Amino acid sequence: MEKHWWQEVVVYQIYPRSFKDSNGDGIGDIGGIIEKLDYLKKLGIGAIWLSPVYASPNDDNGYDISDYEAIMAEFGTMEDMERLITEAKKRSIKIVMDLVVNHTSDEHQWFLEAKKGKENTYRDYYIWADPKADGSAPNELGSTFSGSAWEFDEASGQYYLHLFSKKQPDLNWANEKVRQAVYDMMNFWIEKGIGGFRMDVIDLIGKVPEKMITGNGAKLHDYLQEMNKATFGKHDLLTVGETWGATPEIAKLYSNPKRQELSMVFQFEHVALDEQPQKSKWDLRPLAVAQLKEVFAKWQTELGDEGWNSLFWNNHDLPRIISRWGDEKNYRVKSGKLLAILLHLLKGTPYIYQGEEIGMTNHLVSAIEEVDDIESINMYHERLAQGYKPAEIINAINVKGRDNARTPMQWDDSQHAGFTTGTPWLRVNENYPKINVTQALADKDSLFYTYQKLIQLRKDNPLVVWGDFHLLKTAPEVFAYTRSFKEKTWLVVTNFASEANEFHYDGAIKELILSNGPTPSQLEKVVLMPWDAFVVEVVKS
């Protein structure tokens, strides 16, 4: 495989609204991000995935865009954005923009025009359909944010499609003019010197609504090849597709370099392991570590040289990983280190979501009034109407809701965690006096320094980027694997449990690389204490 910079870096995701407020209005902004670039440089990351900063009425916090070539006033100006790109570049950090082109806001000029009537030039930029004979929606397609995916437009007597909120009408990718307009906009950003695109729900753009097909439609890959040619193909940019239902076979369609589509996929198979099969993210069940191993091992081995994967536990849509699969109560830092070590020594490009590096946790609510996220709110009302008990729904929101990831970044122990001098747009987690960046930087054993070390190991050792992966047969809750490159083999051993376990390996320790506790002196019989994790170079016997 030809080598690219995006295979060797670690990406840091920023959710601008919650990262750092620079002017006291309670909302994070671009000025705040610039203030913190030195912090990110210290961590060692090579790129920032910036959640949307474009003009937006914020029905879905920026994932509903009303102007792709303007910056949201609350976040700053285009000049601020250009300054961010330049200042990041000075620190060898690239800015990867969120590209949300499955849909726009209903306040986008295109949609305002389209709504004017069937004859409007922009009508076909979106997806319209006549009602059924009884006036009801064209078909049963549902929105990810609950209810029907069709919204009736009184004026024209037709429905328009929205796979997310009704303020997020779906663009009609079958229309060549839409595709060209998107490519022009992408080139506008490429010319500003950005490092790439994270493509929001890109698996949906080939949809065929009349056949009930949403993900992985027949035209999807033609569009991506066309996009590649028309935009980033001439530059070495990081392009990562948010691809919910991808299998390794599908991932190769997106990311096999020979096909000239995207750099990598961002797929969620591991993230669904604590939900009941065939149900939704809200229908909970405990994680089986044995399954987690299986899923990771499958992705590590099956892509081979024909694809590239992202490695992540968290993003702005997911609950905090230490609360979810670590042991927040008894081993917050230690389990956090295990999760970091386990993930960052796999093959693929690792992503860190803001606050993950200091071990931020979920924030629990007791009533729906405390929730901001549209997905959670809509689901609450839908399930209430279906007869679920409020307490049961609130429990699901506390475990899986998106606000968990969106509470403000905890910078220090001053009021509002140093995020703002005003009133934060979303409540700060009350554990901020204990969990914050200042504390983490002052404690040499903090999670921050484990992340920093892992990023450095990736820079210094081609084995971490390129080595072959091999899963070891172990006790169900021991996740252990080797990475081998040329003559070298590293052994990564993690005890993914709050109980002790045993482990053994046929080989000898050559050198200690990293651990989150004591390291064994031999490998014949190792007793692993709760959440122990260590990495050693070994000589196989």
> Alpha helix (H) ranges present in 256-288?
none
- CB nearer to ligand TEU: pick between 74 and 170: 170
201 binds ligand TEU (CB under 6 A): yes
Sole binder of ligand TEU in the list 93, 100, 393, 538 (CB under 6 A): 100
Sole binder of ligand TEU in the list 15, 49, 63, 223 (CB under 6 A): 63
- CB nearer to ligand TEU: pick between 76 and 401: 401
Nearest approach, Cβ of 62 to ligand TEU (angstroms)? 9
Nearest approach, Cβ of 100 to ligand TEU (angstroms)? 5
β-pairing verdict for 158-161 and 128-129? antiparallel
Nearest approach, Cβ of 242 to ligand TEU (angstroms)? 6
240 binds Ca ion (CB under 5 A): no
Buried b (16+ CB within 10 A) or exposed e, 248-278: bebbbbbbbeebebbbbbbbbbbbebbbeee
SS3 1: coil
Instruction: Say which of 21, 64, 74, 242 is annotated catalytic.
Output: 242
Q: Which stretch binds Ca ion (CB under 5 A): 16-24, 51-59, 243-251, 366-374?
A: 16-24
- CB nearer to ligand TEU: pick between 375 and 532: 375
Find out whether 534 and 505 touch, Cβ atoms under 8 Å.
Answer: no
Tell me the two tokens of residue 165. Answer: 């909120």
Nearest approach, Cβ of 204 to ligand TEU (angstroms)? 9
- Please work out, in degrees rounded to the nearest 5, the angle formed at the alpha carbon of residue 270 by the alpha carbons of 269 and 275: 90
Distances (CA, A) of 304 to 118, 158, 256, 259, 467: 49, 47, 10, 15, 11
Count of positions on this chain that bind Ca ion (CB under 5 A): 5
Strand order in the sheet with 349-353: 264-266, 238-242, 196-199, 94-99, 47-50, 11-14, 349-353, 310-311
* Residue 242 appears among annotated catalytic residues: yes
Report how far Cα 331 is from the mean position of its chain's Cα atoms: 24
* Residue 370 appears among annotated catalytic residues: no
186 binds Ca ion (CB under 5 A): no
Find out whether 399 and 324 touch, Cβ atoms under 8 Å.
Answer: yes
Cα gap 15→52, rounded to integer Å: 8
Partner residues linked to 49 by β-bridges: 13, 96
Sole binder of Ca ion in the list 9, 14, 27, 535 (CB under 5 A): 27
Instruction: Say which of 59, 64, 74, 200 is annotated catalytic.
Output: 200
Cα gap 275→281, rounded to integer Å: 6
30 binds Ca ion (CB under 5 A): no
274 binds ligand TEU (CB under 6 A): no
Sole binder of ligand TEU in the list 402, 406, 453, 458 (CB under 6 A): 402
Tell me the two tokens of residue 205. Answer: 């753009």
375 binds ligand TEU (CB under 6 A): yes
49 binds ligand TEU (CB under 6 A): no
β-pairing verdict for 507-515 and 533-540? antiparallel
59 binds ligand TEU (CB under 6 A): no
- CB nearer to Ca ion: pick between 61 and 495: 61
- CB nearer to Ca ion: pick between 27 and 114: 27
Find out whether 195 and 238 touch, Cβ atoms under 8 Å.
Answer: yes
- CB nearer to Ca ion: pick between 23 and 438: 23
Sole binder of Ca ion in the list 12, 18, 20, 29 (CB under 5 A): 29
Q: How many CB atoms lie within 10 A of CB 458?
A: 22
141 binds ligand TEU (CB under 6 A): no
Crossing angle of helices 248-255 and 220-230, rounded to 10°: 30
- Residue numbers of the site for ligand TEU (CB under 6 A)? 60, 63, 100, 144, 164, 200-201, 242, 244, 281, 316-317, 375, 402
- Residue numbers of the site for Ca ion (CB under 5 A)? 21, 23, 25, 27, 29
Catalytic annotation, residues: 200, 242
